[in-house]
Structure 1
Amino acid sequence: MDFRKRIEEKREDLIADLQGCIRIPSVYAQDDSGYPYGKAVQDCLEYMLDTARKLGFSVYNMDNQLGWCEYGEGEEMAAVLCHLDVVPEGDGWTVPPYEGLVADGRIYGRGTMDDKGPAMAALYALLALKESGAELKRRVRVIFGLNEETGSADMKYYLKHGGEVPVMGFTPDGEYPVINGEKGLVNETFACRFRQSGEIRLAELEGGEAHNIVPAEAHVRLSCPRELAEQIAAMQEEKITCTLTEDGVRIEAAGVSAHGGTPWEGENAIGRLMLFLNRLPLTGELAGIVRLLAEKIGMECDGASLGIAIADEVSGGLTMNLGVVQGSVQGEECEIHVKLNYRYPVTKSFEDCGPKVEAAFEEAGFRSVSLNHKAGLYMEPDSPLVSRLLEVYARCTGQEATPKCIGGGTYAKMMPNTLAFGPIFPGDEVREHKPDEYMELDRLIDNAEILAQAMYELAR
């Protein structure tokens, strides 16, 4: 079945609709809107459902947790799981993050790759399937999730409240040819409250945007005697900037942002800051906290100093990202929050790493205040779903297709009978969660074609 021509005919409409979606800054927010994931995320859902309705599909909103459009008939259903929420834009952009700028054959903006571009491509792929008049034995449902980046509570709600489970499905939120394994994913937040003492005291501490983004910037403001502040400011360290203040010194650390699943592609500014602070004559609980973050994590990506550098032949080694640090001060009382993201190999378990992480933080005075854990996913290479998706990719691209395992986490962990399929092609740069995120317009069309073919193969 040839879907390319139909998709090319709708090329300008597809791009325009994607631009409208990108212009909605759908970052999770706990606001007063009454919507589960915030007003902006809700606006994005309504935009996408309106777009699907405009294209002639029946749509459904499931209690503002997620929505979908559907085509075809039959007792069984094949699903495409997309998400409309995005991570915060962060720093370092040279183009507007929420404009949908089209230039030099690319469309720029937060979500173009992860996952608004693939979501809109899936919608237009479904339109091509509908207009082709292909005979299908199963319905095809394109689901628009709203909470993939911060816990996947939407998919938990869907399954708990009677959402139909697909016979086969995929999420266009990974890589080609097909992802048959995803590492176990842990997002954990730790907190420590203590009373300050000593000559050097914390006045402000902040770095990072989210668990799953390598932080590009972190800073701390310390209060201390002038002579000591001058000594600190005179210390030399690459990508560290010290500025004297009225009551002490401000220290800034620079890094390079990257996706939390590939932390080695970035440079962790929080880790760099902690390594610098660990050189200072800190005392009390603050010294212990800095020592933990510097000596047990620092700028490491594999958890070696925490004793959790585990690996397997199928998916490689564990990855660790120190994503966020925040410190608040009221008088002599100080509270510090730390957010970690780590991903363990598909043949391992949380018990192989989680207890060691928690023990190290507890020893430094922290307590765990939130834990989101998604167990690993692995499907054998010769399984029917893997085989069909590999065949689609090979047919559409003419390239050899071998499944792979990744550190990224997708909705495939949450929904039975589902794997990640696209949108990143072998050899292409991984641009999710980075500044100046973009998708080539030709790649947008390539994805829509492959997704349409995959829908057809799973539903016929």
Structure 2
Amino acid sequence: MTLLQETIDLLKKLVSYHSYPTSNTTDQEDILDFTLEYCSELGFIVKKVTSTLGWVQLGVEGPLVAFPVHLDVVPPGNGWATNPFTLVEQDRTLYGRGVYDNKGPVSVMIVLLNELRKRNREDVRLRVILGAQEETGMECIQQYILLEEKPVTGFVPDAMFPIVLGEKGRLHLLLESKEEITWLDEILVGEQVNSVPDRATIRVKNKQELDRIDLTGVSSHVDEMLVYQGVSAHAAKPSVGKNAFFVLMAAIDPSIQSDKMKNLLQFSDLNGEGIGLSCPESRFGNTTVNAGIINFKENKWHVEVDIRFNNKLNQEIVLRKIQQFFSDWTVKVLNAKDVHLVENRHLADQLISLYRRYYPTDQTEPIYMGGSTYASYFDNFTAFGPRFPDTRTHAHGKNERMKLSDLEKLIQIYKDAIQIVIEEARKI
């Protein structure tokens, strides 16, 4: 069986798991258990550390090399042309939630390390770290840092080529407040803070209130309940999507908008300019703000916001600005990470050179991005692939996809990249 077919066979199994926290399943732990058992049967050393963290390893001696990956995904959203949890091949393209982010790369790395296992000649330990909370705060990888051995080198196959040398800092905030709105029963928007919500549901207390709401953009209307549609996207690039909450707000007559609703309109400025957070920088670009979850129920607001910032800002400045503009809200930090910059570029430059050998015409500069990967938690780790420049993956959106030709390229590049990392480990 070819490496490509082995990868597809494993990917088919991984895609079938609804491994996100609001799926009402145990799939985040189940997919970890499956992967550990799968690798154990192949002959790897495996360890389950927590219900959302484990690792598989080749070798028992020598320096430790690691490739952190994640098994969880964001919710599928709406409007898929295929079942998001069934791997479908159409026109030599694979469709399914996670084929790029990050179950495809997981499959590639396991298949490639299994090929090395069959040779059994390595004098380093090669470890694939498996997390299942990457999309919801990365507590799993934080636990790894506390509990497990740190690798001497490696890379994270979870971003884009040619390489990522920097990642923005990030704050995941919870804003809560009470407010009595006489005409409103509830608003429900979003499932995960790091995705632009593509669906907003509003339920009013009586049908007469619908006279002051524009029904033009309604996708569903049942009695006192209305549903408005947006466009999902990754929170690192909220301008690519359309937040369904603001679609809803545009439909509500300003005369009945509450004070708290007007507060939340501050987040419609996706660079945070209105609250003093806009701060462009040449490498990272500007601040991004994504109100990923906005719920109002029983006269209580529950709002979760994803804010990503460059090295001109820090957590304290961002938090102070939010508290200033939302002074009558309770503001809590649910998760945070600082800006990640690769200071030692020795391995990174080798990986870039490897990529250039395969794609000499692509002279894309190294990337500094808003997205977050596990690389942030390991000194001088880079995110290396899997997305090729000018390739639309639709990750975090509907119809996530990967061309078979791109998967074949990934197998070739990562096979060589693993050897580069092994050689680097031998020098340490």
Query: Please, what TM-score do these two structures have when normalized by structure 1?
Result: 0.85
User: What's the secondary structure of 2:179's corresponding residue?
Assistant: strand
State the one-letter code of the partner of 1:158. Answer: Y
Q: 1:354 aligns with which of 311, 314, 319?
A: 319
What's the counterpart of residue 421 of structure 1? 384
What's the counterpart of residue 91 of structure 2? 104
- 1:339-364 Cα offsets, whole Å, 9 max, x none, are 111110134312332211132223xx
State the one-letter code of the partner of 1:104. Answer: D
Which residues in structure 2 correspond to 1:172-187 (within 5 Å)?
172-187=157-172
| Unpaired runs of at least 5, structure 1 | 1-7, 32-37
- 1:156-207 Cα offsets, whole Å, 9 max, x none, are 111212x1111112111111111000001111111112344xxx42112111
- 1:424-458 Cα offsets, whole Å, 9 max, x none, are 00111142111111222222222122122111101
What's the counterpart of residue 194 of structure 2? 212
Structure 1 pair 40–223 and aligned structure 2 pair: CA distance change class (3 A): same
* Conserved? CA contact 1:216–1:268, under 8 Å: yes
* Conserved? CA contact 1:181–1:379, under 8 Å: yes
User: What's the secondary structure of 2:308's corresponding residue?
Assistant: strand
Q: 2:124 aligns with which of 128, 135, 138?
A: 138
State the one-letter code of the partner of 1:151. Answer: G
What's the counterpart of residue 337 of structure 1? 302
User: What's the secondary structure of 2:396's corresponding residue?
Assistant: coil
Per-residue deviation at 1:63?
3.3
1:42 matches 2:29:
yes
Task: Give the aligned CA root-mean-square deviation in angstroms.
Answer: 2.3
Per-residue deviation at 1:150?
0.8
Which residues in structure 2 correspond to 1:255-404 (within 5 Å)?
255-277=230-252, 279-282=254-257, 287-294=258-265, 296-298=266-268, 300-329=269-298, 334-362=299-327, 365-380=328-343, 383-398=345-360, 399-400=362-363, 402-404=365-367
Per-residue deviation at 1:310?
1.0
Cα distance in 2 between the residues matched to 1:138 and 1:415: 18
Q: 1:151 aligns with which of 121, 137, 158?
A: 137
Cα distance in 2 between the residues matched to 1:348 and 1:386: 26
State the one-letter code of the partner of 1:297. Answer: F
User: What's the secondary structure of 1:428's corresponding residue?
Assistant: coil
State the one-letter code of the partner of 2:5. Answer: E
Cα distance in 2 between the residues matched to 1:392 and 1:73: 28
* Conserved? CA contact 1:176–1:423, under 8 Å: yes
Structure 1 pair 195–444 and aligned structure 2 pair: CA distance change class (3 A): same
Which residues in structure 2 correspond to 1:185-204 (within 5 Å)?
185-196=170-181, 200-204=182-186
Cα distance in 1 between the residues matched to 2:126 and 2:221: 58
1:116 matches 2:103:
yes
Query: Please, what TM-score do these two structures have when normalized by structure 2?
Result: 0.92
| Unpaired runs of at least 5, structure 2 | 424-428
Cα distance in 2 between the residues matched to 1:149 and 1:96: 21
* Conserved? CA contact 1:78–1:455, under 8 Å: no
User: What's the secondary structure of 1:13's corresponding residue?
Assistant: helix
Per-residue deviation at 1:401?
5.6
Cα distance in 2 between the residues matched to 1:28 and 1:92: 20
Per-residue deviation at 1:276?
3.3
- 1:254-288 Cα offsets, whole Å, 9 max, x none, are 21111111111111111222243361334xxxx11
Instruction: Report percent identity of matched pairs.
Output: 28
Per-residue deviation at 1:224?
5.2
* Conserved? CA contact 2:175–2:331, under 8 Å: yes
Tell me the matched-pair count: 422
User: What's the secondary structure of 1:189's corresponding residue?
Assistant: strand
Structure 1 pair 244–147 and aligned structure 2 pair: CA distance change class (3 A): closer
Per-residue deviation at 1:23?
0.7
